[in-house]
Structure 1
Amino acid sequence: MGSEPHEGSVRDLLAANLKAARARRQVSLSEVARLSGISKATLSQLESGTGNPTIETVFSLSRALGEPLSGLLEPPAPGGMTVIRAADVAPLVGEGVDLRPYGRVESAGLICELYDQQVRAGARQESPGHAGTEHTVVQSGLLRVEVDEVRVELGAGDYLSFDAVTPHVYTAPEGPVRSVLLINYRADGRGPAEAPH
């Protein structure tokens, strides 16, 4: 059985998807700059594929455009089987996290995005909050998560979910952490998706 390579760097995918999202919403670069807090010059570089997007930048664009992260980072879905090799997906780099987007599924009014999340040893990744519910399963290492001043530590095999609109922080106090991150949104954009019970 063969597989199609996962084509397009994060930079190229963001450039194409950002242009498409702006066109759908009929908003100018100036308006996106105002809504996102990202300079117009930086947005122009991102749209031309010459900028270097960070996790923080993509989350800001997601909030400003009302677009799920996967809508900004994922290529159009191919038919049949999809195989994505880690080596073919450049990570989106943040202050403390490398995030590889792997897929998006829409079903029953929800959009679910799947990521490989690696928290660097001793690093701290802060998020002011964004739409959706975050679900994290730790594969290796010790992950500390703070949500609304509540702190939990997760080891291999542990799971956590929370409303991602709440500011949150991921840290790896003892060494690198590898985890699976799933973010789900309501497709209609109204309110957070419910975490499973």
Structure 2
Amino acid sequence: MGADRTEADLPASIGRRLRALRARTGRSLASVARELGISASALSQIETGAMQPSVHRLVELVGVLGAPVSAIFDDHAVAASPDPGAAGDLAEPVPGVFVARSGTETTAHLGQGVTYRRLTPVPIPGVEHFESTYPPGASSSADGGLLVHAGYESGRVISGTLTFEFADGEVELGPGESLSFAASRPHRVANRTDRVAVATWLTVVGATAPAE
């Protein structure tokens, strides 16, 4: 996505890509909404950019569509293969080497002011690498719902403090601290402080927990 795109454009862009992904699967708006447990009207608002999904809802939605979270960031994830000529922020200076220059990253603005930024120039099959920013009081789900998805997840807090909630307990991490867990374990991320918190995430789909 080129630098001329404004932040106001981003929710609509995310919705457009989600709609394109849904169309590619042949799923109707009603069937996807029913599987998510929301109304078709609510899903339509997400697809038009009128509503910003929470982290929880976004991960659920791309999971239903069989797509990675990286699909929301640019058209490369929607296309069959990366096309460096399709966007101004991506170059291929050496064949097969993709480069995204500083200052051209796309940030996804989600519910409660949470933002996600992909840390790889193009999607990498089976790997998700992101930076997330949680404003004071923000969380991955406003209703307290715990998220379950595929893969093995590692998170590292860069600044601020985040609380990681699980069905059987919680862990609070500050700057420089990290954790790893199977993403199939129900979880939720929350910033219970009055300061912005930033973390990086690496999720590997198909990976399993290390042997004890």
Please say if 1:194 is aligned against 2:208.
Answer: yes
Name whichever of 19-28 and 123-132 sits farther off.
123-132
Residue 151 of structure 2 is matched in structure 1 by: 132
Please say if 1:98 is aligned against 2:114.
Answer: yes
Pair 14,93 (structure 1): closer, same or farther in 2 beyond 3 Å: closer
Question: Contact 2:159–2:198 (CA<8 Å) still a contact in 1?
Answer: yes
Please say if 1:24 is aligned against 2:24.
Answer: yes
Residue 82 of structure 1 is matched in structure 2 by: 100
Residue 59 of structure 2 is matched in structure 1 by: 59
AA in 1 matched with 2:158: Q
Question: Contact 2:156–2:179 (CA<8 Å) still a contact in 1?
Answer: yes
Residue 5 of structure 1 is matched in structure 2 by: 3
1:86-112: CA deviations, max 9, x gaps?
A: 8x63443334x6122324542xxx522
- Report the TM-score when normalising by structure 2: 0.70
Structure 2 counterpart of 1:115, from 130, 138, 147: 130
**C-alpha distance in 2, partners of 1:7/1:112?**
26
1:111-132: CA deviations, max 9, x gaps?
A: 2222221223344434322222
**Quick one: percent identity of the two aligned structures?**
29
AA in 2 matched with 1:194: T
- Number of paired residues? 184
State the superposition RMSD in angstroms.
Answer: 3.0
* 1:138 Cα offset (Å): 0.9
- Report the TM-score when normalising by structure 1: 0.75
Give the number of the structure whose residues are more often strand, by fraction: 1
